[in-house]
């Protein structure tokens, strides 16, 4: 039985038949999704392509890169995959969903056209402006000289962003003109993000706390997940360069239900309607990053996928079978599904390689995960790990240490206790995940 209280029929028509699932990606998000799917009563074979040192323990890792769209589709056909779940933005931007659908393969995620909402910040900003969706006032530039001129006229603080995909590192909030000049030079002259920097957004600096919104969309209905808060800069106190995300809490205790309803009405729905009107209907997970300003919530960016490391916290809270959720999205049946969440809080503290988000060493031995997971409620999700003779680092963000608790403080205490059990040379992490909410009395 599924959560609708009705027997599940998959495309082969069998009652309660199992589903073979392929997850595309190799990060902490994908490990968390695999962890949750592995608990489904209907899971058949579970594959992750290419996966990491953690997914190999609960699924079969397949050596196909997330960008090898044809290779992934061939694998799915050959291995009778019933459902494919896309993790990373680059697969979506390359049209993995279009390719799979054209071959009759079921897949969770937006088409290439709809995923433009993330892959092109210029597209997203224009869509927001045209549809009255609150965002920072902006200008778009293709020439370095014009961008530099504008920055000098406007003054600081200001934010400079590469329009395309840049592993979460392409946005530069600048407090001084020197910083802004350096950002423009890196993106437009040194081509740090290659073609992703062909267009550059220069926008007003917004003050306020950040909140991550995730909406599941089946083409007709959208359902919001609980709020989450990521911590993007590398150092405590939101100092240093932006990263892919150094830790999350969920839900964000100070975001009221009515604020969430407002975000649904003023951001999520109009965005989905605007995309549909442009002939780019969105299915999958729409994830707007917001700043909660004095003038209300404003959109920083849209993502067309689950957040990383938001998903690591979400999967710890989700009660409903994830396979039921994904099936409902793909089959346009989200309106019939009551998604249930565990009460309390989940947190994720990311352990990163020394030097990240700049250069860092790889293949450093990791120890202590077993000990960490003996702590009540702790689950460690792998991101940049690989297995050779033993578990070793293989990326910038290495592990996501998650814990749950009745209160935010309880979850944080357990996660940080586990963080100190895990050892690898150069390990760095933020010590202030969730600290703003705690300081505000939650
Ligand atoms: P983005 O990739 O657009 O989400 O930007 C990455 C990060 O840069 C965000 O999570 C914010 O921390 C910061 N940021 C982006 N745009 C702005 C803005 N207009 N004002 C202040 N901070 C920003
Ligand atoms: N949490 C940041 C991201 O997924 O882009």
pLDDT tens profile 361-382: 999 999 999 999 999 999 999 9
232 CB near ligand 1 (under 6 Å): yes
- CA dist 379 and 422 (Å) reads 12
pLDDT of residue 5: 36
Q: Single out the residue of 284, 278, 293, 305 nearest to residue 127, CA to CA.
A: 278
Quick one: which ligand is closest to 299's CA?
1
- Closest ligand 1 atom number to CA of residue 233: 12
Q: Which residue has the higher pLDDT, 14 or 358?
A: 358
Contacts of 181 (CB under 8 A, 6+ apart): 148, 151
Report the topology of domain 137-204.
Answer: Dna Ligase; domain 1 (3.30.1490)
Does pLDDT of 2 surpass 60? Answer: no
User: Measured from the CB, is residue 28 less than 6 Å from ligand 2?
Assistant: no
**Cβ atoms within 10 Å of 117's Cβ, excluding its own:** 26
Average pLDDT over residues 199-227: 96
pLDDT band at residue 12 under the 50/70/90 scheme: very low
Tens of pLDDT, residue by residue over 275-334, are 999 999 999 999 999 999 999 999 999 999 999 999 999 999 999 999 999 999 999 999
Given a cut of 70, whether residue 161 has pLDDT beyond it is yes
Question: Is the distance from the beta carbon of residue 171 to the nearest atom of ligand 1 less than 6 Å?
Answer: yes
Domain ranges of the chain: 11-109, 137-204, 209-439
State which ligand 2 atom lies nearest to the alpha carbon of 303: 5
pLDDT of res. 320: 98
Q: Is the CB of 124 under 6 A from ligand 1?
A: no
pLDDT at 9 over 80: no
- Residue having the nearest C-alpha atom to atom 4 of ligand 2: 307
pLDDT of residue 417 exceeding 70, the answer is yes
Instruction: Please state which CATH class domain 11-109 belongs to.
Output: alpha beta
Predicted pLDDT at 167? 79
* CATH domain 209-439 topology: D-amino Acid Aminotransferase; Chain A, domain 1 (3.30.470)
User: Can you read off the two tokens belonging to residue 227?
Assistant: 């709020």
β-sheet bridge partners, residue 367? 423
Mean pLDDT, residues 116-129 taken together: 98
* % of the chain exceeding 90 in pLDDT: 94
Mean pLDDT across 56-61: 97
- pLDDT band at 16, cuts 50/70/90? low
């Amino acid at each position: 039985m599924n959560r609708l209280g009705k027997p599940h029929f998959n495309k082969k028509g069998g009652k309660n038949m199992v589903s073979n699932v392929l997850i595309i990606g190799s990060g902490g998000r994908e490990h968390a999704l695999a962890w949750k799917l592995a608990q489904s009563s209907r899971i058949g074979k579970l594959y992750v392509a290419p996966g990491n040192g953690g997914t190999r323990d609960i699924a079969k890792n397949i050596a196909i890169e997330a960008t090898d769209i044809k290779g992934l589709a061939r694998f799915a056909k050959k291995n009778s995959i019933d459902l494919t779940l896309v993790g990373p933005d680059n697969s979506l931007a390359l049209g993995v969903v279009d390719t799979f659908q054209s071959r009759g393969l079921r897949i969770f995620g937006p088409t290439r056209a709809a995923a433009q909402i993330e892959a092109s910040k210029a597209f997203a900003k224009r869509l927001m402006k045209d549809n009255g969706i609150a965002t920072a006032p902006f200008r778009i530039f293709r020439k370095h000289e014009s961008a530099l001129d504008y920055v000098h006229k406007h003054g600081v603080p200001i934010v400079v962003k590469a329009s395309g995909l840049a592993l979460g590192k392409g946005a530069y909030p600048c407090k001084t003109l020197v910083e802004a000049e350096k950002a423009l030079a890196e993106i437009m002259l040194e081509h740090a993000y290659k073609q992703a920097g062909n267009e550059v957004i220069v926008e007003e600096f917004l003050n306020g706390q950040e909140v991550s919104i995730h909406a599941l969309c089946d083409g007709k209905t959208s359902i919001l997940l609980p709020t989450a808060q990521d911590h993007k800069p590398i150092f405590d106190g939101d100092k240093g360069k932006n990263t892919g995300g150094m830790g999350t809490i969920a839900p964000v205790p100070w975001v009221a239900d009515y604020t969430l309803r407002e975000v649904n009405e003023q951001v999520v729905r109009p965005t989905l309607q605007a995309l549909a009107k442009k002939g780019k209907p969105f299915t999958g997970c729409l994830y707007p990053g917001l700043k909660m300003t004095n003038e209300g919530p404003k959109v920083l960016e849209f993502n067309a996928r689950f957040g990383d490391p938001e998903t690591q916290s979400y999967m710890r809270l989700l009660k409903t079978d994830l396979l039921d959720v994904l099936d409902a999205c793909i089959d346009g049946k989200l309106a019939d599904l009551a998604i249930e969440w565990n009460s309390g809080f989940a947190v994720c503290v990311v352990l990163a390689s020394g030097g990240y988000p700049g250069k860092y060493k790889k293949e450093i031995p990791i120890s202590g995960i077993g000990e960490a997971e003996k702590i009540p409620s702790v689950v460690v999700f792998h991101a940049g790990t690989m297995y050779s003779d033993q578990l070793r680092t293989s990326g910038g963000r290495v592990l996501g240490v998650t814990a749950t608790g009745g209160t935010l403080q309880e979850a944080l205490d357990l996660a940080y206790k586990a963080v100190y059990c895990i050892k690898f040379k150069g390990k760095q992490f933020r010590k202030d995940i969730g600290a703003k909410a705690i300081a505000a009395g939650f």
